[in-house]
Structure 1
Amino acid sequence: MLLDKHGQENIELQRKKVKGLKEDSKQYAKYKKVFSENEILSTLDDFQNIKYNDEKEWEILKKKYREKL
């Protein structure tokens, strides 16, 4: 069973990522325009992992984004 193999937490993360894919893709593109290559996460998947999995890092990234605008 999928739940046994991947765990509830990972399944919920994947659901959030799929549900938010369109908006996250737009947001990631905006962030990429503001940050240099070495300042931004290299993939949309990495971006979503921070957004949905690491509240502290997500707040830091949002703050840096606002400061650059």
Structure 2
Amino acid sequence: MYFDTKNRTVFSPQNDKLMPFYKVLEQHNQTLGGSNLFDDLVETYEYLDFVFKDKEETQDEPITSS
């Protein structure tokens, strides 16, 4: 899933914990889209999605000892 804003395309999150945040952004895109506040919220959402994705990948890596 995704939706387009005035400045970018916002994709659904990799982590389900962020789905409520995504839905709020999608719902308010028409009224707030293009504003500085909305752009900041989208950047925060994308950053959190990246952090959660990176954390999941790190946990999936096998532990090796030397």
Q: Same fold (TM over 0.5)?
A: no
Larger radius of gyration between Structure 1 and Structure 2: 2
When the two structures are superposed, what TM-score results if normalisation uses the length of structure 1?
Answer: 0.36
Higher strand share: 2
Higher helix share: 1
